[in-house]
Amino acid sequence: MNRPARIGIVLLLGAVAGALAGLYIVRYLMAAPELVPASTGPGQASVTMQTVGTIGFGDHPDWVSYLVRTPSGRWVHTTIIKVPAHTLVHVTIYQYDTSTGLRNPLWAQPRGVVGGAIYLNGKPTRVVDAADPAHTFAIPDLGLSVPLDGIPDNAKNQCSAAPCRLSMAHNTITFSFRTGAPGIYRWQCFVPCGAGFLYGNGGPMQTLGYMDGQLVVQ
């Protein structure tokens, strides 16, 4: 093979590699989770979520995750939620995962919620045992932090893959908070639930669509 032919092959291979790299980057940038709007009414909004110990599908089927329910009732694997500004938001979280526990007991007390309490399976709760939460729902910029009690390790009929059904073992946590000015507010779980990562703080803990999310206030 002469030299011009070799140069042509090298250039062709380089172009193919560049195209594949560009495709990968575009797919990565466009792979953001779906944005789900809250159900809204006069001066208020409602958000329903669930947390699961194993998502059961996608790129990381063994990761812990949140899901959000659309106003039409469809469960979506996302953590990006849109709510109105200056509005009372009612939140319901079905918590299907087992306990991991908090490293900082400060997070065992709900903060930033209307009335200073959450409702755990219908019971008003102002503090939980720091060993009990499986996850938290926290928006630091809004001063909101809610511990989500895990189910017992030996609970019957545990959910193994999302979306989980209400007939499966779970805790129901409800609370309300108020939004402020428009903006994008990061929310996150602060329980170290990223099993297999350094100190439990990698993987799903740092990934949109799993334990890291955005509250889009408009």
- How far apart CA 139 and CA 120 sit, in angstroms, is 19
What pLDDT is recorded for position 182?
98
Query: What's the pLDDT score for residue 211?
Result: 96
Q: Residue 53: CB partners within 8 Å, gap ≥ 6?
A: 64, 96, 97, 98, 134, 158, 159
Q: What is the pLDDT of residue 29?
A: 42
CATH number of the domain located at residue range(s) 33-217 in this protein:
2.60.40.420
What confidence tier does 201 reach under pLDDT thresholds 50, 70, 90? confident
- Six-digit token pair at 122? 């219908």
Tens of pLDDT along 79-127?
999 999 999 999 999 999 999 999 899 899 999 999 999 999 999 999 9
Percentage of residues in the chain with pLDDT exceeding 90?
78
Q: Tokens 């909101």 correspond to what residue?
A: 144
What does the domain layout of the chain look like in residue ranges? 1-31, 33-217
Average pLDDT of the chain to the nearest whole number = 89
Predicted confidence band at 13 (pLDDT cuts at 50, 70, 90)?
low
Identify the pLDDT of residue 15.
53
Query: What is the CB neighbour count within 10 angstroms for residue 97?
Result: 26
Q: What is the model's pLDDT at position 1? A: 61
Tell me, what DSSP letter sits at residue 204? G
Its sign, for the CA torsion 37, 137, 128, 166, is: positive
Residue 169 has pLDDT above 70, yes or no: yes
**Torsion over CA: 190, 192, 197, 199 (sign):** positive
Residue among 60, 9, 82, 86 nearest 162 (CA): 60
Q: What local confidence, expressed as pLDDT, does residue 26 receive?
A: 36
- What's the order of all strands across the beta sheet hosting 212-217? 35-37, 80-83, 212-217, 183-188, 133-139, 144-149
pLDDT 10s digits, 3-12: 665 565 656 5
Question: Is 60 exceeded by the pLDDT of residue 133?
Answer: yes
The pairing of beta strand 171-178 with beta strand 118-120: antiparallel
Residue with more model confidence, 11 or 185: 185
C-alpha dihedral sign at 42, 137, 188, 28: negative
